[in-house]
Amino acid sequence: MVTAGSTSAEDLVKARAVLLDPVDGRRRLAPEALRTALVDLHDFWLAGRAAAIGIGGAGSGIALAAVGALGRRELAPYSDLDLVLLHEARTGVDRLAEQIWYPLWDAGIGLDHSVRTPGQAVQVAATDLRAAFGLLELRHIAGDPGLTDTVRTAVRNAWRSGIRGRFDEIADGATERWRRNGEVAHRVEPDLKNGHGGLRDIQLVDALAAAQLLDRPAADVVAARLLLLDVRTELHRLAGRARDVLRAQDADEVASVLDLGDRFDLARALSGAARAVAFSAEVGLRSARAALPRRGLAALRRPPVRRPLDSGVVEHLGEVALARDASAARDPALVLRVAATAARTGLPVAASTLHRLSETAPELREPWPREAVGELLSLLGSGRGMVDVVEAMDRTGLWGRLFPEWGAVRDLPPRDRAHVWTVDRHLVEACAHAARLTTRVARPDLLLVGSLLHDIGKGRGADHSVVGASLARQVGHRLGLPEADVEVLGEMVRHHLLLPHTATRRDLDDPATIERVVETLGGSPLLLDLLAALAEADSLATGPGVWSPWKQRLVGDLTARARALMAGEPLPRPGALGEEGLALAAATRDDGKPHVSISGDKPASVVVAMPHGPGTLAAAAGVLALHSLEVHAAEIHSVDGEAGEVVVHEFTVSPRFGGMPDPALVRSDLARVASGALSLPDALARKERDYAPANPDPESSAPPRVLWFDDESSGVVVLELRGTDRIGLLHRVAAALEQECGLDLRWARVSTLGASVVDSFGVSGPGPGGALPTPLRTAVEHAVLTAAGTAAARPSPEGPR
């Protein structure tokens, strides 16, 4: 333990360990208390070390000071120590510095260090923005306190006098950091330090306040700072190292320690805190720019005029503001007109305008005035421009006043790992994407409103589509829509998953599939087109890669078939085996060996012909996985001939890496599998280990789940597997179905959503008409879950199947 006079870095390390992992029945320190204890511990050790090596006190002309987390007294368990040794051009200072730095390095303590004279400190602050931010937080630890005060004062004076020439660099740096690290409020795995709404944004506001351009942060930002620091402290303690990104698998434990429920409760609290910080940083940058000191001729210019933009709305100092005679009490559409104008022009709404409207705007009467509805549609139709505007309105309570239903989804984290946004931000993103699709539908107004509301039923403990449909109808009545439009809006929300789920999980060649879609939609071509556009907007707003070319093709095919049936046109029958497949089947009958053809690119078509036998789909899928091909769909055909039955598989695939493999290599591997020369389980296990992350976390994957659907025609029962993506997953599940359970596989449909999969299989059992008795279903389900959950190593999310 560190005691008076102790200068051993090993003692410092031991003391840190005791604070992080108490012994002898000592209570674990709360996050704020732990940070205080860590700061006091390091201050005490550093002061003792400084005295031991001869750094004197007042008047000595040398001082040890802290910047960064230690300077702010916000030291997390594994934060680096940021230290500055200040001196007045003394000789031998480098030797003194080494006597401080080396023990810390040898003890494995992270350290950023510098040795500066006062002039050098001011100079580096004038040329290096990051160094300037740190030196603004300079805090004395040991030595001559007058020297530390002199440097701190000089740096702050230089910061204030030079802020005008540095402001663009500050603003551009913040914008680039936000772009690079994303938003803490809406990301599933946020960067607590560097993300937009994170701790660096609070430091930004503090720096602007030090330049006397802003007031100090408000109370909500102070509270947000404490929460962000507490979460980061516990994240460090849990990880055993410095970490700023809160991963989903760590969040439950962090939430439990902080008494915040589970990871979803923590995510919601973090989102609210980060929104307060982000809003403060954005408004702070704009306010600071307007407050920059004007010099020279600029000081003589007249203040900028207020340029009219719309009725009651003007531009002032690069922001959307209210005209002097504008009144929300007299003009019920004013709030939405301000928002629509900001979204259309790309200008932010002035913070003073938002606060004035939030204080004076009355609730709209029901039904809404026609002008207000028009301004709402103008806002929603502005695309990306609406995102920041809605965020600002929601932050100041205006959005919730317009849509009280929004409260349940505000800051609500998603339950599906494919989603990258909180539910409220996902809705806004979906609406922004829908704005680009309005020319595809006959009712763009309903598409925009439906996109904004499609997940509004989440967070209420019931089927969100059913709850959401009721809420959407409620909103529709509030807007004053005709009853027929209200019904369409409700049906959009109720069935917003119908097309993507059907397209990716059912056999589209089965007429019953199309007939069921048409029946569900009441034969309405309008509703069909709206749902097709909403499916695209919803997928694009979910996350990267969710709206894949394959999914787009499937949804488009389903929509076209349903539209044809609504128009009274005959449905296409299940596709017969093409000429290529027949030719391969003939070759296989002739020589008894597998044959392969490949055409196309992304997605590509792979046709595989093999002699009939158990496990043909498993074998073919396994070989494709070895060649880094992701399977999207599989159709299975049987071809009889004099020489025996041949099975032809038609796969739709995409290469994960590079281009498509040589068909001869695929055929060779199939032949080796058939002869027993190649063990697919072993080969796939080796490939899976190659793609596995260095430190797999067994708790990071959701357990697999099986669902059954008995409503398909022709005796085909649909088994749906939901689980985590793995190399060779289709091979393992097909082997379980074909070989272990003896089922007849008719088709397979594979959908990858980030690291998750939803795979559907059309199977026929031994019962009458292909039915599967309950005992057999239980055995099949066990076999499939075992196959989906057994892994040689935890796979990469990008691994092929």
Sheet holding 319-322, edge to edge: 307-310, 313-316, 319-322
Distance (Å, whole) CA 487 – CA 482: 9
**Is residue 5 very low, low, confident or very high in pLDDT (cuts 50, 70, 90)?**
low
Distance (Å, whole) CA 72 – CA 225: 12
The confidence score (pLDDT) of residue 638 equals 81
The confidence score (pLDDT) of residue 711 equals 55
3-state helix, strand, coil in the chain (%, to 5): 55, 15, 35
Residue 512 CB coordination number (10 Å): 14
Q: What is the pLDDT of residues 730-741, one digit of tens each?
A: 888 989 998 889
Distance (Å, whole) CA 284 – CA 212: 12
Distance of CA 618 to the CA centre of its chain: 34
Name the DSSP letter for residue 603.
S
The backbone torsions φ and ψ at residue 630, rounded to the nearest 5 degrees and listed phi first, read: -90, 125
Burial label for 748, CB within 10 Å (0-12, 13-18, 19+), is buried
The confidence score (pLDDT) of residue 356 equals 94
Question: Which amino acid is it at 195?
Answer: G
Please tell me whether residue 382 adopts helix, strand or coil conformation: coil
Please tell me whether residue 308 adopts helix, strand or coil conformation: strand
Distance (Å, whole) CA 118 – CA 121: 5
Please tell me whether residue 510 adopts helix, strand or coil conformation: coil
DSSP 6-22: ---HHHHHHHHHHHHS-
Mean pLDDT within 573-599: 84
DSSP lists the bridge partners of residue 630 as 654
Sign of the alpha-carbon dihedral angle for 368, 372, 373, 374: positive
The confidence score (pLDDT) of residue 766 equals 78
Sign of the alpha-carbon dihedral angle for 566, 568, 574, 577: negative
Distance (Å, whole) CA 154 – CA 119: 9
What is the separation, in whole angstroms, between the first and last Cα of the chain?
Answer: 54
62 and 96 Cβ atoms separated by less than 8 Å: yes
Distance (Å, whole) CA 608 – CA 697: 37
The confidence score (pLDDT) of residue 699 equals 44
Residue 212 CB coordination number (10 Å): 14
Sheet holding 604-611, edge to edge: 595-600, 604-611, 646-655, 629-639, 744-753, 756-764, 717-724, 705-709
Query: 568-591: buried (b, 16+ CB within 10 Å) or exposed (e) per residue?
Result: eeebeeeeebeeebbebbeebbee
109 and 9 Cβ atoms separated by less than 8 Å: yes
747 membership: H or E segment, kind and range: strand 744-753
Residue 462 CB coordination number (10 Å): 10
Distance of CA 707 to the CA centre of its chain: 27
414 preceded by a cis bond (ω within 30 of 0): no
Mean pLDDT within 355-362: 94
Distance (Å, whole) CA 536 – CA 450: 13
Mean pLDDT within 761-787: 85
Distances (CA, A) of 527 to 484, 490, 535: 12, 10, 12
Q: Report the range of poorest mean pLDDT among 280-294, 482-496, 762-776.
A: 762-776
Strand pairing of 111-116 and 81-87? parallel
The confidence score (pLDDT) of residue 433 equals 96
Task: Supply angle C-alpha 312, 315, 320, rounded to 5.
Answer: 75
The confidence score (pLDDT) of residue 339 equals 97
Mean pLDDT within 193-221: 93
Q: Report the range of poorest mean pLDDT among 25-29, 220-224, 393-397.
A: 25-29
Highest mean pLDDT of the ranges 394-398, 532-536, 746-750: 532-536
Q: What is the pLDDT of residues 642-656, one digit of tens each?
A: 546 888 998 888 887
**Is residue 288 very low, low, confident or very high in pLDDT (cuts 50, 70, 90)?**
very high
Distance of CA 114 to the CA centre of its chain: 38
As given in the structure block, the two tokens for residue 712 are: 């398909």
Q: Report the range of poorest mean pLDDT among 263-272, 487-496, 718-727.
A: 718-727
502 and 718 Cβ atoms separated by less than 8 Å: no
Report the percentage of the chain scoring pLDDT > 70.
91
Distance (Å, whole) CA 235 – CA 244: 8
The confidence score (pLDDT) of residue 89 equals 79
DSSP lists the bridge partners of residue 766 as none
Mean pLDDT within 122-136: 94
The confidence score (pLDDT) of residue 164 equals 92
The confidence score (pLDDT) of residue 290 equals 84
The confidence score (pLDDT) of residue 798 equals 34
762 membership: H or E segment, kind and range: strand 756-764
Dihedral in degrees, nearest 10, Cα atoms 729, 733, 734, 735:
110
Distance (Å, whole) CA 801 – CA 788: 12
CA-nearest of 320, 298, 281, 295 to 171 is 281
500 and 551 Cβ atoms separated by less than 8 Å: yes
The backbone torsions φ and ψ at residue 528, rounded to the nearest 5 degrees and listed phi first, read: -60, -50
The confidence score (pLDDT) of residue 793 equals 33
Domains and CATH numbers, the chain: 9-161 (1.10.357), 182-291 (no CATH), 410-575 (no CATH), 579-789 (no CATH)
Residue 160 CB coordination number (10 Å): 14
Q: DSSP H helical segments within 62-198, as ranges?
A: 68-71, 93-106, 118-127, 129-135, 145-181
603 preceded by a cis bond (ω within 30 of 0): yes
**Is residue 56 very low, low, confident or very high in pLDDT (cuts 50, 70, 90)?**
confident
Q: What is the chain's mean pLDDT, rounded? A: 88
The backbone torsions φ and ψ at residue 750, rounded to the nearest 5 degrees and listed phi first, read: -120, 130
Q: What is the pLDDT of residues 685-719, one digit of tens each?
A: 888 776 554 444 444 456 788 888 875 455 578 88
**Is residue 2 very low, low, confident or very high in pLDDT (cuts 50, 70, 90)?**
low
Q: What is the pLDDT of residues 231-287, one digit of tens each?
A: 999 999 998 889 999 988 899 899 999 999 988 899 999 999 999 999 999 999 999
Question: Considering all CA atoms of the chain, what is the largest pairwise distance in Å, rounded to the nearest integer?
Answer: 105
Q: Which residues contact 689 (CB under 8 A, 6 or more apart)?
A: 792, 793
Whether residue 523 has pLDDT greater than 50: yes
The confidence score (pLDDT) of residue 26 equals 66
Distances (CA, A) of 418 to 187, 415, 532, 545, 647: 12, 9, 20, 9, 35
Rg (CA), the chain: 32
